[in-house]
Chain A
Amino acid sequence: MTAATKPRFIRADGPDKVTGSGRYTADLTLTGMLSAKFLYAGIAHARITKLDVTAARAIPGVMAVMTADDVLDVRFGPFVQDRRLFARDVVRFEGEIVAAVAATTAAIAQQAVDAIVVEYDALPLVTDLESALGGDAPLVHADWASYGAADALVRDRNDASFSSISKGDVEAGLAGADHVITSRYVADGSHAAPIEPRAVVAQWEGNKVTIWTSTQVPFDARAGVCETLGMPANRVRIIVPHLGGGFGGKCGFHYEAHVAALAKVAKRPVRLVFSRREEFVAPDRRREGMVIDITTGVRNDGSITARKAWIAIDNGAYTADSGFFPQLAAMHVSGPYRIPNLDVAAHLVYTNHQPSGSVRAPTAPQACWAVESHTDEIAAALGMDPVEFRRKNAVDTGVEGPSGQTYGEIGVQQCIEEATKLVGYGRSLPEDEAIGVAIGWWPSFAVPSGAYIKIDGDGSGQIITGAQECGTGSVMTLRQLAAEELGMDPENFELIYQDTSAAPYDMGATGSQTLFNNGRAVVAAAGQIAEQLKALAAEHLEASPADILLADGQAHVAGTPGSSVSIVELAGIASGGELLIGHGSGAPPSAPPLVGSSCVGDVGMASFVAPQFSCHAVRIRLDRDTGVVRVLEVGAAHDSGTIINETGALGQIQGGVMMGIGQALTEGTVYGDDSRQRNAALLEYKLQTCADSPAIHTHFVQIATPDAGPRGAKGLAEAPNVATAAAISNALAKLLGKPVRQLPMTAERVWQTMSNGQP
């Protein structure tokens, strides 16, 4: 992008952030505040044979030491209630919390942690996804059958959630194919790695607790505190100061209850701040490793006859929000293609790894990488250009997708056209360069959400919203929607957000849903005030409310130039009578119907509301001597509906692409034989730097999708993360003559693929 001359969207929180005056959770200090530290298992699977905190409690300055014995015995989890705040009897991954300490200084807290005596008997490690599903595999949870779980889940031993999508007759479809292509792809886990390590501060007043926390989902965090500490929602207040990035890593309920429990016992405010290593090892929010087997039948004319796939997803030791991953992964391995006969089965497999959870477009980058690499293998078998193959087989408006959903107007074909154009697909390149192309999709998540708006007597407004800002700018964009509804300027509004006791519910900065759902709520709330203003103006101007237009800070009578009154004046009138207060929620759109398919373990993911589509075309260079790959240029075309805030939207594409490049090439968790992470530091877990970032060209395909959010917007934040790794894989396969079958496609793996065909 060149520097634009037109006025740009400037974030409301921007000045705080560029001056250093913005406060993040770790920046908060309260009088008498203590420091918290955790004792982690440090061993991936073991029975606790001894746990003695006597010495730790005796250290001067230690104000609280807690273990499972010091809190309610509650098992929690959104899909499977398989986890406790503190380990009891058995630890199942290295980052499991065994005990927590609050002390007057961080150093004393650490000293106390080190003084806790804990002894273990090692239990057999479960690490391999395929063998974990075997009938004789050791169990990660011996009592799995007794756990409470969501009704929709199909569970069996180490299989925490099984889903399948079936349509037509796969065996007949494969039998009728001219070519049958079978591939296996294996993806390592990876990390969200926000630059801000998480932090939590808790303070009690009477029987109420206020918790400042770096969460993406304050209402989820509140629910977790209520559930584990046995409190009603109205006595738990979650406030999120500025949030230093999340990428899904800070979704879910994390440590708010531990810190609140410590603060209650210590009778002092307590602050927890994670180190980078803790950020890598402890949270139940890393991107899941996967094993993906795909078999596809095609005819010589390039049409797909059938697809069969088997997916194993690394759940880790506990089930965070991953219960829906199997069905979502099944959708991504199916892909946005016309597939008449389909049979995809996906398992969520317990292991003694760190638990998996929603990281930016969960399951999608890995599944898209597998299916899109497989797609290029199919095209190669057919001798067909891979882009041409996609044009022929990708879904389109009015076409039935793999799960039996027939789409309204969608822009996947336009995305293919535009992305390939952006990088000049088909042009001649040096022998060490190639362009790879991949398509991806992602749903918009339709969920309840609420907001209030008030306009005070001076005409200035406040939007009080449950929505959470994690950096995307979605919350910042809400001002624009309210202003448009009311004919006011976005600068007239301040945002009150990230406080569960001030605002109505919102799901949080997750699922790319803020604008889609909270935008609807804000428009509805603003609509109520608009009605009030129109009634006031009608009375003031002696006109009919139906003829009043709100624009430029004025209420005008349509067709009567000069007949107007300022909104400031109307606000003043209202302040002496019925106040200008709006509230909104609106009804989320319902899921489109599926025809002809059947789903086992159905958690509602086989039907995509307002689906988003993308195509990424990536030009890379390969150092053939070492296997090092460098991304030179990316073309990203996205159908995410109407783009309301272009600056923010471009930021999502550029950041998502860059994260995708990291996942493709340098970011992957490496486990030792002891099932502990070997690269839990930013030197060894390599995010892309400013020196690595390529030119990123973006095109938005903006069409009117049914069931879209306000102004025709769909979600956006996760979609850019879906197709990049896949496109890089396809470029690389062109240069190598075969795909690299492991993700990340590290230099060493590329070299191995070149030198001996493995992996």
Chain B
Amino acid sequence: MNFTIAKTLDEALAAVAAGARPVAGGSDLVVGARQGKAQLPDAVVAIDRIQPLGNIDTTSDGLRIGALVTHARLEAEPVIVERYTALADASALVGSPSTRNVGTLGGNVMNASPAMDTGAPLLVLGADVELQSTTGSRRIAIADLWTAPGRTSAEPGELCVAIHLPTRPPRSGSAYVRLEYRRAMEIAVVGASASVVLDADGAVAAMAIALTAVAPTIVAVRGVETFLGRQIDASLFADVAALASEQAVPISDVRASEGYRKHCIGVMARRAVDAAVRRAGGESIGVPVNRSLGIGAAS
């Protein structure tokens, strides 16, 4: 394996253009190779020292999160916790303190795992991905990035340099919850994220829900616009749960059966919407929701 450390973005882009695999923390690469899932690539370029990629900047249309921002930073960063709370919820649940410390948002997004925790929050928050290559850069909606487990629509030579999140409207809230068999060191068996905007009367003005680990990629729940104008009540939550369960196409594996996943995804969607609504209404629910509301085993 050929290994280089890029000190600048240009160096990184040149290496990626030449076929090198970019790594930030590198955990997935090393673990994958050791477990025999994937050979180490012929060439690797470490991008973790490119300082500008570690920035979080406010922009005219929202927030730009550099690809190297770690989960540990996201779970504590005030702007994320206050305005993009679902992303903080998800970041706080990833692996363990050390994996949150090493793992980056860009790495997580580009791995395109259907079980990635930050994916559903990014989807409901309307994230764009900024891809850059030696020939230029482009922004695509994150929904268009993931094409299959471990696959993205990024072209060879393109490096994810940032995630863009649009400005949050007033009376909005978001949350991410997942099923956990133990309170730490978990991977999402199923998870759900919701973003909700309430109107002045407390009815639903906007809603988005996305689901983790129930399809080949992170998926948005379709048809949530039918909830617009609905008051927040038990029937809304029941409808949310039913819609999410209905659209989930999970597999059966060692972590859970298809039937249990379909059931639990409804529960998670309902709980995510509930927490998002409460946050939209001004209630302070600590990050992550799982731990502050005692969801699943996480009390």
Contacts and interface: CB of A to CB of B under 8 A. Distances in A.
Direct contact of A and B (CB under 8 A): yes
Contacts of B255: 684
A689 B254 contact: no
B182 A691 contact: yes
Given A625-B267, A748-B260, A630 B299 contact: yes
Contact of A748 (B182, B184, B257, B295): B257
Nearest to B254: A678
Interface string A721-759: 000000000000000000000000011100110010000
20 contacts: A621-B294, A623-B296, A623-B297, A626-B179, A626-B264, A626-B296, A628-B181, A628-B296, A670-B254, A678-B254, A684-B255, A686-B181, A688-B182, A691-B183, A692-B182, A692-B183, A692-B297, A747-B181, A747-B296, A755-B263
B117 interface: no
Lowest 7 A-B CB distances belong to which pairs?
Answer: A691-B183, A691-B184, A628-B296, A689-B184, A678-B254, A625-B267, A748-B260
Contact of B182 (A625, A626, A689): A689
A308 to B, nearest CB: 34
Interface string B170-209: 0000000001111111010000000000000000000000
B256 interface: yes
B297 A629 contact: yes
A195 to B, nearest CB: 13
B254 A751 contact: no
A693 to B, nearest CB: 10
A630 B297 contact: yes
Interface residues of B, number: 21
Interface residues of A, number: 26
Contact of B256 (A630, A691, A748): A748
Interface in B259-297: 260, 263-264, 267, 294-297
Identify the interface centre among B254, B255, B257: most chain A CB within 10 Å of its CB.
B254
A207 to B, nearest CB: 39
A142 interface: no
Given A689-B184, A689-B185, A692-B182, A684 B296 contact: no
A683 interface: yes
A628 B254 contact: no
A116 B183 CA distance: 43
B184 A690 contact: yes
Contact of B297 (A628, A690, A751): A628
Interface in A610-661: 621, 623, 625-626, 628-630
Nearest to B261: A748
Contacts of A690: 184
A666 B187 contact: no
A679 interface: yes
B254 A684 contact: yes
A661 to B, nearest CB: 10
A751 B260 contact: yes
A621 B296 CA distance: 10
A689 to B, nearest CB: 4
Given A623-B295, A623-B297, A748-B260, A628 B184 contact: no
Contacts of A621: 294, 299
A691 B295 CA distance: 14
B211 to A, nearest CB: 15
Nearest to A688: B182
Interface string A683-715: 110101111100000000000000000000000
Contacts of B295: 623
A658 to B, nearest CB: 12
Contacts of B181: 628, 665-666, 686, 746-747
Contacts of A628: 179-181, 296-297
Contacts of A686: 181-182, 185
Given A623-B295, A628-B180, A630-B183, 14 more contacts: A621-B294, A623-B296, A625-B267, A626-B179, A629-B297, A630-B299, A665-B181, A684-B254, A686-B185, A688-B182, A690-B184, A691-B182, A747-B296, A752-B260
Interface in B27-65: none
Identify the interface centre among A621, A628, A629, A678: most chain B CB within 10 Å of its CB.
A628
Nearest to A748: B260
Contacts of B267: 625-626
Contacts of A623: 295-297
Interface string A478-512: 00000000000000000000000000000000000
A691 B179 CA distance: 16
Identify the interface centre among A684, A751, A752: most chain B CB within 10 Å of its CB.
A751
A626 B185 CA distance: 19
Nearest to B268: A626
A684 B299 CA distance: 21
A621 B298 CA distance: 11
A430 to B, nearest CB: 11
A308 B182 CA distance: 37
A746 B183 CA distance: 14
B260 A689 contact: no
A670 B254 CA distance: 7
Contacts of A629: 297
Contacts of A689: 182-185
Nearest to B179: A626
Nearest to A747: B181
Contacts of B180: 628
Nearest to A749: B260
